[in-house]
């Protein structure tokens, strides 16, 4: 079983999988476009609400840089945000928080630069937007 990211928003997004960044167009699902193990959403400057009660993992915060990690058995779903407050909303199902090592949730820019495949500015592109 692998992590899945579903983009229900009207925006293209960048995700990380297999050490590369991949574009998911509006309405796409990582598992149906050939991405076998999605690891997380790479934040690209747009304001993203991490809609979770897990405040210890960054839930309830709006961030525009860094990433939001989903664990291997889980699913992250992206939807449109609410007006000027935030552009996108990210939600992770319960299984998406169960990780054997590094926990799921928001990861700041510094963490991303120290972990291979997570720095949106330097990671190799695996899939461009259609």
Position 45 scores a pLDDT of 96
Position 10 scores a pLDDT of 97
Position 22 scores a pLDDT of 96
75-105 tens-digit pLDDT: 999 999 988 999 999 999 999 999 888 899 9
3-state secondary structure of 32: helix
Instruction: Give CA–CA dist 9/117, Å, rounded.
Output: 23
Q: Which residues of the chain have pLDDT under 70?
A: 1
> In the numeric block, which tokens belong to residue 77?
């779903």
Position 38 scores a pLDDT of 95
Radius of gyration for the alpha carbons in the chain, expressed in angstroms and rounded: 13
> In the numeric block, which tokens belong to residue 89?
């909303």
Position 71 scores a pLDDT of 93
């Amino acid at each position: 079983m692998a992590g899945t990211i579903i983009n229900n928003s009207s925006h293209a997004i960048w995700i990380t999988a297999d050490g590369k960044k991949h574009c998911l167009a509006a309405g796409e699902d990582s598992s149906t476009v050939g991405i076998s193990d999605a690891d997380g959403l790479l934040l690209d400057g747009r304001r993203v609400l991490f809609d979770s009660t897990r405040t210890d993992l960054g839930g309830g915060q709006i961030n525009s840089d860094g990433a939001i990690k989903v664990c291997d058995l889980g699913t992250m779903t992206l939807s449109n945000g609410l007006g000027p407050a935030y552009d996108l909303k990210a939600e992770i199902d319960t299984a998406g928080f169960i990780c054997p090592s590094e926990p799921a949730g928001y990861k700041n820019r510094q963490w991303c630069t120290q972990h291979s495949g997570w720095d949106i500015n330097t990671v190799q592109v695996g899939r461009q937007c259609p």
